[in-house]
Amino acid sequence: MDIIALDVRLDGFDNPIGNLVRDEAGALAFAYSSTYLETPDAIPLSLSLPLEEEAYEDNDARPFFDNLLQERDGPLQKVLDREGLARSDVAGLLFYLGRDCPGALSVLPLGSPAAKVPGNFKTDYRRLDEAQLIKIVHSLHRRQRLPDETEDPSPLAGVQSKIALTILPDGTFAEPLPGSGAPTTHIVKVPDRAHPNDPDLELEALRLSATLGFETAEATVRDFEGVSALIIRRFDRSLDQDNRVIRIHQEDFAQALGLPPSLKYERNGTVDRRFDAEAINSVLNATNDPAAEKQTFIAATLFDLMTGNVDAHAKNFALLYEPGGGVRVAPRYDLMPTRLDPDLTDLLPYAIGEATKLTEITEEDFSVFLRALGIVSERAQRRLRLGLTGQVSGSLIGELRRMDRSGMKRFADLIGHNIDELLTAFGLPVPDQIRERDAYLDRGGGWLLGS
């Protein structure tokens, strides 16, 4: 196996910030450049790769860079087949795919010019007409290849069909000109034929999240000749003083923890290497305001439990790196009431104490969860358990009638059932608005329909 040396670039910096190297045995190493380390506004690639002079060896470097590759097999498989590479050859794959890494990062053959630069709305994008948009959306809906004339400049992680595009100031859709390196501004998520209502369900979950006060990705649903798609504004984009689109460096919690994509659920990890409450606590402790971030995360956990989102895994939480080195948790995104789909698991993405399902949670489990997040005072635990649970459930209850009227009754019934489950587990009274609902998920997971 030959040695491969790659430049690692971060949008906003003129020169490579470091190098990724694969040796003859296939092991990876990453090192920041000395010039970058001396830059006053240097930021780390990851919490798992702090700014240090020493090189990071394979065990530290591999998880972060592996997370830059897509989870969908299709695009990867083309390179694997064409180049005869193994899936474990992260550097070899990034040699061909690294210019299109998600976010502000790119990994390029040594000496290559920057692949990602700010985008000028007037010169760096080409408009897409309605016919082109419809063709793209319908291709994604049918899980077919994109139209030949369509470039996807930012292959996205995850298993859903999606494409990154730009919305220009006048509201029209566009894509970056080939080779421009300009950022996209929005993600278009398209359901498959078996899940046509997913965009509306995810939009409702995002709307509930924003209504309850969580910083949440902005989204809307649009119909493209019979196929609905969710259009999400990217939270890792901004405008500079010249009104150019720029990228903001971000990483998901898997990268921050040095976990490969295969360990994004706690149940897939090991005792010392997994996405659990203690690991989450270590990430939140590295943010600008750990106390506030922890309270928000606990509230978000309660929100997910009540709304039936059991897919809040390590790649569905992210950190944003602000200019000057500040780190904060990104807005909420990828929210879906997965418990409405009987084909999906009811296992939680991370355990609450010893509980791996909503139906198993007890007061003691929640206390164990809070202690793992650094909340050791019994008084503080009680305040969070009673106060936050009451606050989140009360706010959601206030939305149920609106959901009933807007075609979301099945989702509202799921929320009602889950609130009942959690309040009962915590020894809290169940409000009449919940008891009076005429449909619930029974405690075994099946629907019970009232008369």
Q: Reply yes or no on whether 311 is catalytic.
A: yes
Do residues 237 and 221 touch, judged by C-beta distance below 8 A? Answer: no
- In a 10 Å sphere around its CB, with 0-12 CB exposed, 13-18 middle and 19+ buried, how is residue 305 labelled? buried
Do residues 166 and 119 touch, judged by C-beta distance below 8 A? Answer: yes
Residue 78 has phi, psi (to 5 degrees) of -60, -45
Give the residue ranges of DSSP H helices in 308-377: 363-372
DSSP per-residue codes, 201-246: HHHHHHHHHHHTT--B--EEEEEETTEEEEEEE-TTEEE-TTS-EE
Question: Which residues in 279-391 belong to E strands, given as ranges?
Answer: 318-321, 327-329
Integer angstrom CA distances of residue 128 from 149, 152, 171, 386:
11, 13, 11, 51
Question: Would you call 428 helix, strand, or coil by DSSP?
Answer: coil
Nearest to 261 by CA among 108, 192, 356, 158: 158
Do residues 318 and 254 touch, judged by C-beta distance below 8 A? Answer: no
Give the span between the Cα atoms of 403 and 399, in whole angstroms. Answer: 6
Catalytic residue among 311, 334, 413, 420: 311
Tokens representing 115 are 């692949």
Q: Which residues contact 249 (CB under 8 A, 6 or more apart)?
A: 10, 11, 12, 43, 45, 103, 104, 105, 236, 320, 321
Give the span between the Cα atoms of 155 and 78, in whole angstroms. Answer: 14
Query: Looking at the annotation, which residues are catalytic?
Result: 311
